[in-house]
Chains A and B, each alone.
Chain A
Amino acid sequence: MIDREWVGQVLDALARCATQNQANRLYIQIEVHASPEETAAIVDGVRARRMTLDPLHQRWHAVMEHALRGDGRTVQPYARRPLCPGASMYAAPAGEDAIARRTLVIAFTGNAERLMMPLAMFLQHCPADAYDFLVLFDPTRRFYLGGVEGFGSDLPASIAGIRERVGPERYRRAVAFGTSGGGLAAVWTAVELGLPRAVSVGGAMQSTIAASERGQALDLSGFGDALARHAHHLPEVFYLAGDGAERDLRKGRELQAVLPTTLLLVPGCTHHNTLFQVRELGGLDRLLEVLLGEGRVGALGSTVRVG
């Protein structure tokens, strides 16, 4: 299911872009919001309209075309459904029976409103018949501690909003996943909702938040309270970082000091965007299957090792 009106508006706007930066701004919005099918429709629409692109954007179209349809892949039929300004559902249309067999992924994007790559690219690595994604955004870049707009004015209220409006209990399983600025919110959400698993990819921790400009006035005491309240039923927690990414490794160890956490390391990775590197190495399908599904960490092979 595609929002064809939105796709048409995007194509019209692309045609009006006068500078490369204007076009880049639009492509970033596509990367943040478009489902795989919508992205494919934009790629096809540019081709059908015979629009002239500069080399950078020609390359973008080629990369996305390959991510969506290359090597015999099919475009995953996630339909985008905005729920409120700070959250959208991405789910293949299905009845309650099918939903009850799926896993809900509550996904907290980072400060750039992404899961470390274009959303459509990320979703292509997750079969739409197995997962529904609740994708959350915090444009204020306050680590979700000021809430998810439309769900609540702080994180605990937003978690309650997720429980009420999305209903994780309708699913066979629900997990929380967060990248970068969304990492701590994912762990907190899993603790509060009693989810079996939380995954933080290079996620922010208390020290990062306290040292940040936007974190100065934010209250993190609720996280400690949630850990204390749920001490006997904590989620299985994974923290993914590059084995040479010192800042992320420090945050991973900080999380380990707070609750039992398995540190997963990407060998040879010195930068923050570990997921993209794993994808480049061809290991993202398996990594997400293990982290979001019920696979065992031992099945990860050589792309990722336990730290």
Chain B
Amino acid sequence: MDARTIRQAIVDGLEAGGVGRINEKRIRDAFLAGDVDLTLAELDMDSLARMELCIAIELSTGISLVPEELGRYRTLGELAREIEGRCR
């Protein structure tokens, strides 16, 4: 699974969780291209958004990550790299 697909799963999960920032085309495109990273803190994620993010990752990649584990990652990029590593 390539990095772009993993980043797309992250975007889909955040969108399903109603995280407004990721809807902004400029930010979304840059994140998908790997040009920009976003901290989880700046995304204003509530518990629903965290759940949706983990669900999208599991559905797209088969990697099971639960919302409590998201605290280990400071940025979405770190999360994407962790998933990429686990997919190998």
Q: In whole angstroms, how far apart are the Cα atoms of A255 and B68 in the complex?
A: 37
- Quick check: is A19 within 8 A (CB to CB) of the other chain? yes
Q: In whole angstroms, how far apart are the Cα atoms of A61 and B23 in the complex?
A: 32
Interface string of A100-116 (1 = CB under 8 A from B): 00000000001110100
- Quick check: is B34 within 8 A (CB to CB) of the other chain? no
Indicate if the CB atoms of B15 and A111 lie closer than 8 Å: yes
Indicate if the CB atoms of A28 and B18 lie closer than 8 Å: no
Indicate if the CB atoms of A216 and B44 lie closer than 8 Å: no
Task: Report if A141-B15 is in contact (Cβ < 8 Å); known contacts: A112-B48, A114-B48, A272-B20.
Answer: yes
B72 to chain A, nearest CB (A): 16
Number of interface residues of B (CB under 8 A): 25
Indicate if the CB atoms of A21 and B20 lie closer than 8 Å: no
- Quick check: is B66 within 8 A (CB to CB) of the other chain? yes
Indicate if the CB atoms of A112 and B23 lie closer than 8 Å: no
Interface string of A217-231 (1 = CB under 8 A from B): 000000000000000
Indicate if the CB atoms of B52 and A112 lie closer than 8 Å: yes
Interface string of B44-74 (1 = CB under 8 A from A): 1010110110110010000011111000000
- Quick check: is B86 within 8 A (CB to CB) of the other chain? no
Interface string of A29-41 (1 = CB under 8 A from B): 0010000000000
Indicate if the CB atoms of A110 and B18 lie closer than 8 Å: yes
B58 to chain A, nearest CB (A): 4
Indicate if the CB atoms of B25 and A247 lie closer than 8 Å: no
Task: Report if A19-B64 is in contact (Cβ < 8 Å); known contacts: A28-B52, A112-B52, A213-B25.
Answer: yes
Within the complex, which residue of A20, A180, A181, A216 is in contact with B25, where a contact is CB–CB below 8 Å? Answer: A216
B22: nearest chain-A partner, CB-CB: A213
Indicate if the CB atoms of A208 and B20 lie closer than 8 Å: yes
Task: Report if A112-B55 is in contact (Cβ < 8 Å); known contacts: A211-B26, A212-B25.
Answer: no
Indicate if the CB atoms of A21 and B66 lie closer than 8 Å: yes
The number of chain A residues touching the other chain, given as a range, is 20 to 34
Within the complex, which residue of A111, A212, A276 is in contact with B46, where a contact is CB–CB below 8 Å? Answer: A276
Indicate if the CB atoms of A211 and B25 lie closer than 8 Å: yes
A110: nearest chain-B partner, CB-CB: B18
B21 to chain A, nearest CB (A): 8
Residues of chain A contacted by B79 (CB below 8 angstroms): none
- Quick check: is A262 within 8 A (CB to CB) of the other chain? no
Indicate if the CB atoms of A111 and B66 lie closer than 8 Å: no
Within the complex, which residue of B18, B54, B68 is in contact with A112, where a contact is CB–CB below 8 Å? Answer: B18
Most buried by B among A27, A141, A212, A215: A212
- Quick check: is A273 within 8 A (CB to CB) of the other chain? yes
Residues of B within 8 A of A (CB): 15-18, 20, 23-26, 28-29, 44, 46, 48-49, 51-52, 54-55, 58, 64-68
30 inter-chain pairs at a CB distance below 8 angstroms, sorted by A residue, are A20-B66, A21-B51, A21-B54, A21-B58, A21-B64, A24-B51, A28-B48, A28-B51, A28-B55, A56-B67, A110-B18, A111-B18, A112-B16, A112-B17, A112-B18, A112-B49, A112-B52, A141-B15, A141-B23, A180-B18, A208-B23, A211-B24, A212-B24, A213-B24, A213-B25, A213-B29, A214-B23, A216-B25, A247-B20, A272-B44
